[in-house]
Structure 1
Amino acid sequence: MTLSTVKTDKASAAVPAVARPAAPAHIIKDDAEALSIARKLASDFAVDAAKRDRERIWPQAELDAFSQSGLWSINVPKAFGGPELSYATLAKVIEIISAADSSIGQVAQNHLGVVAAIRTVSDIEQQKLLFAEVLKGTRFGNAFSEFGSKRAADFETRFVDAGDDVIVNGQKFYSTGALLAHLVPIVALDDEGRAWYAIADRAAPGLTVIDDWSSFGQRTTLSGTVIIDNVKVPKTHLVPGYKGYDKPTADGAIFQIIQVAVDTGIAQAAIDETVRFVRTKSRAWVDSGVDNAWDDPYTIQAIGSLTLRLHAAQALLEKAGLAIDRAVASPTAEAVAEAQIVTAEAKILSTEIAIEATNKLFELAGTRSTLAEHGLDRLWRNARTHTLHDPVRWKYSILGKYFLNGENPPLHAWS
């Protein structure tokens, strides 16, 4: 895709923008309250999760409840009126929500990552302006990735100076959350090739968001094509994202830890569903010599193994969150590398347990668990789709280079 071939023929399929919240979002007081709210929301979100996946129903009411709950502002600094909670808590919140509906958990990812980036790279006035929006309940979507580029970090979307504004042109895909966002951060390059977040109003003229996400998993992440045709963005909303990666910062690890939490959430859901099904619906195997499926020694061993592996991933997830806290407070090269390394370790384990647990679900629960009425296939589809982000084969490379040769991880949003 080049700027001269941006397609606008699908503009008639544009999804209208949604209204901003009528009342400010709740401000969470502490980590315990955040976890309590997440558990209550997750209980509600789980009720129709299978139906939303099956019929591809947008989680609009659920998303409104999620962002208004205060959970979308938990990493806003205290100096600007936010809770500034631990990234270990933020990750646990995403895990809890994702266990109920991993699409909803993923929708929050780029919003929280952009909030972190604003803290890192914006000046005080821009922070005041944008953090105030977040505390009101304004949701950031994303228009980062481009479908036809050679590498994920290659961008052809650009902006030009227009006085108090910039004018942005390009086309994006994998735009999680953009359909129901209030503001859409667009990754665009300046004339020096540096990447900025041009945060456009979702209703801005020339900004077209199309509901064409067709993946077999994570079906309701509110993603799709974003067409950017001479979109005007005020310079007050032009965030120098590149500054988060031209020196050591925790920004990349923050984007990554949220990915990890989505996957541990899926794994937790898969194990919970396996236990529930084995305890209530599965039959004992003919050669087992037992009357109940839950007494099958091979099933018992498998559940123990899965749970152990999940707990290991969750322990690393918490460790990564605390390492990120330290890197945010003091972004030395050593602290940032530690945060990246522990997060990479967690990413490997979370990917492996999400795929293993969603496979084992059907093996242990039996043929009956594949019936459409149970909707359990969504867990495998979601795990297989979401774990394709940031391939773990490259995480192993990062770890090996660090522990063998003392080489710090690269500084970008995928590390």
Structure 2
Amino acid sequence: MTQSQELTPGAAPKVAVLTDERQALEAARAVAELAAKEAVSRDRARIYPLEALSLFSRLGLGSISVPREFGGGGLSYRTITEVFRLISSVDPSLGQIPQNHFGLIQYLRDEGTYGQQKSLFKAVVEGQRFGNGGPEKNTRHTREVLARLRQRPDGLRLSGEKFYSTGALFAHIVVTTAVDDQGKAVLAFIPQPADGLEVIDDWSGFGQRTTASGTVRLNEVWVNPQWIVPVPAEDKPSLRGPVSQLIQAAIDAGIARGAFDEACEFIRTQSRPWVDAGVERNADDPHLQADVGRVNVELSAAEALLRRAAALLDGIDPTQLTAEIAAKASIVVAEAKVLTTSVALKASEKLLEWGGSRATLSQHGLDRHWRNARTHTLHDPVRWKYYAIGNYYLNGVYPVRHAWI
């Protein structure tokens, strides 16, 4: 039996509800501690972090962003950001698996009806996880939708094929986009298992190896009309993009911190000094010390911008959201995302340089940091972040509204 065949979500176990930041951070540290034990071997053998993911849900971390009126934790974006950063510092694949779960919670907060929120948030509070049905597998770009939701004699039926379906393999509810008979894009929430719904374990990326971000096939899958949420107009103010990108940035910041901390430990305990340095320990090489200092400054700056972005989102009243406020939120998050991307790549590459040849030995698994950083930061190109930031400050042009800005 393959690993993917063993993954049947079934009923969610009884879980906690976390209403205090301290509780949430303690839970995140517990998940991180468990995940750290076999992070290298899981990456090497592509073994999923199922035990840590189960603990993530049981401890109540999956519902910390659900509003308290629906039984959730109602915690701040600052807390959510720190939870993702802590977990991703030891295993960013584990951090990425619930990434879309939280993005979809935000989507429901922005666009769902009260009835939809009540029903779907109840499932989340009880421990169920959303999984991303992914963008289309073969289109011109990620926003083009080919999947179709058709009215049949026996109800609504959805057909299509998706990829980059992070979290779907581990999800209780798969969520995907389709175009209905009126030509409008909608988001459909589909409980697993479902006839005609197939989640295929075919993700082969060289980094983020255990996210299972592969294919979802839908063949005339029945969809409950009560669990269909329209996709809003592109110009409607929303926090979906900033929240999604904030979590992405937190994962990258976690990768950077994990790489930097492991680099310092490896320098102190494993690496040898360069022959011309004239020192006994590599950690006493002044050129290396200066290089470590430079990266530390950049990492501290990235983490500061991440906290600033979370604080800005926490200060927004969603009932008073305007195009101007939404644009500011996107730009501030984009500024953080630029630096977290840069330092994740730099710290993970410098780790190998600082450690020397022995840092490349497979027994250490240090290459996973760069592979994870390079893979995860490809979700949305930084060059478009710079463009959006510059156009905003120079010309007052608001960025486009979607999940990648």
Same fold (TM over 0.5): yes
Does the CA-based 8 Å contact 1:15-1:179 persist in structure 2?
no
Does the CA-based 8 Å contact 1:15-1:208 persist in structure 2?
no
Task: Tell me which stretches of 4 or more aligned residues in structure 1 moved more than 4 Å.
Answer: 12-17, 162-165
**1:186-335 map, 5 Å:** 186-240=176-230, 242-243=231-232, 245-327=234-316, 329=318, 330-335=320-325
Q: What's the Cα RMSD here? A: 1.7
- 1:267-291 deviation digits (Å, cap 9, x = unpaired): 0011011001011011111111111
Aligned with residue 113 of structure 1, among 103, 106, 130: 103
Indicate whether 1:50 and 2:31 are aligned. no
Does the CA-based 8 Å contact 2:19-2:64 persist in structure 1?
no
Aligned with residue 57 of structure 2, among 49, 67, 78: 67
Aligned with residue 392 of structure 2, among 376, 384, 402: 402
- 1:197-226 deviation digits (Å, cap 9, x = unpaired): 211122100001111111111000022111
**What are structure 1's unaligned runs of at least 5 residues?**
1-11
- Distance in 2, Cα, partners of 1:172 & 1:16: 22
**1:60-139 map, 5 Å:** 60-139=50-129
1:326 is displaced (CA, Å) by 3.0
Letter of the 1:173 partner, please give it: F
- Distance in 2, Cα, partners of 1:169 & 1:239: 17
Deviates more, 1:251-260 or 1:13-22: 13-22
Go from structure 1 to structure 2 and tell me whether the alpha carbon gap of 1:62 and 1:273 turns closer, same or farther (over 3 Å shift).
Answer: same
- Distance in 1, Cα, partners of 2:348 & 2:237: 36
- 1:151-172 deviation digits (Å, cap 9, x = unpaired): 1110101101358952100000
- Distance in 2, Cα, partners of 1:54 & 1:230: 37
**Which residue of 1 is the match for residue 161 of structure 2?**
171
**Which residue of 2 is the match for residue 41 of structure 1?**
31
Does the CA-based 8 Å contact 2:136-2:161 persist in structure 1?
yes
**What are structure 2's unaligned runs of at least 5 residues?**
none
**Which residue of 2 is the match for residue 338 of structure 1?**
328
Letter of the 2:221 partner, please give it: V
Letter of the 1:391 partner, please give it: P
Does the CA-based 8 Å contact 2:392-2:398 persist in structure 1?
yes
1:299 is displaced (CA, Å) by 1.2
- 1:59-104 deviation digits (Å, cap 9, x = unpaired): 1111111122111111100111111111121111101110110000
- 1:247-300 deviation digits (Å, cap 9, x = unpaired): 101111111111111111100011011001011011111111111111111111
The 3-state SS of whatever aligns with 1:84 is coil
1:13 is displaced (CA, Å) by 11
- Distance in 1, Cα, partners of 2:3 & 2:211: 18
TM-score by length of 1: 0.94
Q: How many residues align?
A: 403
Go from structure 1 to structure 2 and tell me whether the alpha carbon gap of 1:378 and 1:409 turns closer, same or farther (over 3 Å shift).
Answer: same
